[in-house]
Amino acid sequence: MRPGLLREWKLDAASFHEAAGAADGTTPPSYNQEWHLKYVSKLAERGIRIPMWMGFVFEISGSLRTEMFRETLRVCAERHETLRSAFRVRDGRTECFTVAPERLRVKDEILGDFAGGDEMCLWLQERIDDATDAFCRPSYVVETVERVDSTTVIVALDHAHTDGLSVMTAVQEWQDLYAAVAGGRTVEHQQVGSYVDFGVAERAAAESVGSDDPAVGCWRRFIETGGEGLLRFPLDLGVAEGELLPHTKLDVRLLDGPAAEAVEEACHGAGGGFLAGLLAAFAIVTHQITGDPVYRTVMPWHTRSRPEWLRSMGWYVGIGPVEIDLSAAESFRDVVRSAQRSAVTAQLLSRTPIARIAQLLGIEDELEQRMPEVFPFVSFTDMRVIPGTLRWSEWNARPLVRMKTRGNRVNTWIHRTHEGVWVTARYPGTETADAGVACYANGVRKVLQTVAQTGDYVLGGCPTTAGGAA
């Protein structure tokens, strides 16, 4: 990042402290927030604090109009209630409270004029890590690096207030809000819902779910049938039982743009969508390594079921169980059909929070102890549908994630853009895991590339060992 004048922006903490002292007007945190805060609190009891924030960065052309930017931040916090909410613990219970829009004040502080980019980035990381603790008020921060010709904007938030889709959608939103404020145009909020309200509605709906609900039965069968296999990666990671190691990651391009289109066409011909094709490739590679006839994983899904939540900032994510039967499959196309059915079911099941499922199954303590890796998962985001992504190169924009966590599982994120499909795997940092995860990703890539070239993939052989690690 090019250096410049570093300025830090925050909502005035005084308004949060005032709201925290009020006797009423609080709500429970959402289920995701509750688990996150429990995890953070347990670490704090052991004297441990780790950064767990998400955010985004983009550039504004020209020098920064500071008062216009101040109003942009205020308007954004007015629009998204989670940005003016925080947490307090009272009588042993965690509560969410909110600052009224009219009480919002934005403060800024010049941190220094940097000549070197490396020094500035180290300073930035430290400031952001300190400002995004889950119990900070507020628990997010905005940094600007100002120059004559452009300004870089960095927005970082504790995970309690955002998810991946939120931060990616916010890039264009902030560009639009800044342009509207600078142009003197009125900013409307009526089509943007509140994540605080969502959390209340989600909890009310979940509490009506009983132990005889079909979703509970599906999860029970999935967990009992999958057993310990749900937690294990199909290749050795070089991690001892119970050992938690610092995470590292691998980024691999699976397909270029035209190849992704070819795979999608093959999936449609088999009766599924592109996501089903991705899951089918994972299922095939796992089956060829382990010989297991059924592939099981967990998949995150967005829970933005109402129009007003589509562009709302918050942690709108549930998880659903994926179960793909390969016992009678002879080709990729056969597996796609099973994967499509399972994906549809998993999305429906994700509407019931896993925290509520865990309560009803009596495994809440067990799952909470696994935080932040409750289940290994495979996540997919089609970034082509996110507003503004075609201009990200112009804005020098990208999402940011800093999760300095430890664990012994493998979690996978897949992103599709107009240029292609990429996979990011997070896993415990060992040489054995480096080789195993790269080998697995190479196997998935070979399956998908074969489908792109021929329209199908015949089961048999082991693609992860035929070509070595990617």
Residue 350: which CATH number?
3.30.559.30
Cα separation, 303 vs 325, whole angstroms: 26
Residue 206 lies in a domain: no
User: Do 172 and 256 fall into the same domain?
Assistant: no
| Burial label, 434 (beta-carbon count in 10 A; 0-12, 13-18, 19+) | middle
Residues 249 and 166 in one domain: no
Rounded-to-integer distance, Cα 239 and Cα 241, Å: 7
- Identify whether residues 49 and 187 lie together within a single domain: yes
Residues 17 and 48 in one domain: yes
- How far is it, in rounded angstroms, from Cα 467 to Cα 227? 31
Among 179, 199, 219, give the residue marking a domain's end.
199
Structural domain boundaries, residue 172: 5-199
For residue 358, the number of C-alpha atoms closer than 13 Å in the C-beta half-sphere is: 18
CB count within 10 Å of CB 111 equals 15
Query: What is the rounded distance in angstroms from the CA atom of residue 448 to the CA atom of residue 357?
Result: 34
Do 371 and 401 belong to one domain?
yes
What span, in angstroms and rounded, lies between the C-alpha atoms of 339 and 104? 48
**Does residue 171 sit in the same domain as residue 226?**
no
Counting beta carbons within 10 angstroms of the beta carbon of residue 251, is it exposed (0 to 12), middle (13 to 18) or buried (19 or more)?
exposed
Beta strands in 337-469 (DSSP E): 378-382, 398-403, 406-407, 411-417, 420-428
| Assigned domain for 175 exists | yes
Same domain for 229 and 160: no
Task: Report the number of distinct structural domains present in the chain.
Answer: 2
Distances (CA, A) of 262 to 255, 299, 332: 10, 24, 14
- CATH number of the domain that residue 55 is part of: 3.30.559.10
- The radius of gyration of the chain from alpha carbons, rounded to an integer in Å, stands at 23
Nearest to 120 by CA among 5, 272, 258: 5
Same domain, 163 and 15: yes
Q: Which residues lie across from 321 on neighbouring strands?
A: 298
**Amino acid code (one letter) for 303:** T
Same domain for 229 and 310, yes or no, is: yes
**Domain end point (choices 139, 164, 199):** 199
Give a yes or no: residue 69 inside a domain.
Answer: yes
The model's pLDDT over 213-229, given as tens digits with 9 standing for 90+, comes to 999 999 999 999 999 88
Query: Does residue 435 fall inside a structural domain?
Result: yes
| Whether residues 358 and 266 fall in one domain | yes
Q: What pLDDT tens digit does each residue of the chain (470 aa) get?
A: 888 999 999 999 999 999 998 867 789 999 999 999 999 999 889 888 889 999 999 999 999 999 999 999 999 999 999 999 999 988 888 999 999 999 999 999 999 998 888 888 888 999 999 999 999 999 999 999 999 999 999 999 999 999 999 999 999 999 999 999 999 998 877 789 999 999 999 999 999 999 999 999 999 999 999 998 899 999 999 999 889 999 999 999 999 999 999 999 999 999 999 999 999 999 999 999 999 999 999 999 999 999 999 999 999 999 999 999 999 999 999 999 999 999 999 999 999 999 999 999 999 999 988 888 899 999 999 999 999 999 999 999 999 999 888 899 999 999 999 999 999 999 999 999 999 999 999 999 999 999 999 999 999 754 444 333 33
Instruction: Please report whether residue 311 resides in a domain.
Output: yes
Enumerate residues 6+ apart whose C-beta is below 8 A from 12.
Answer: 104, 105, 106, 107
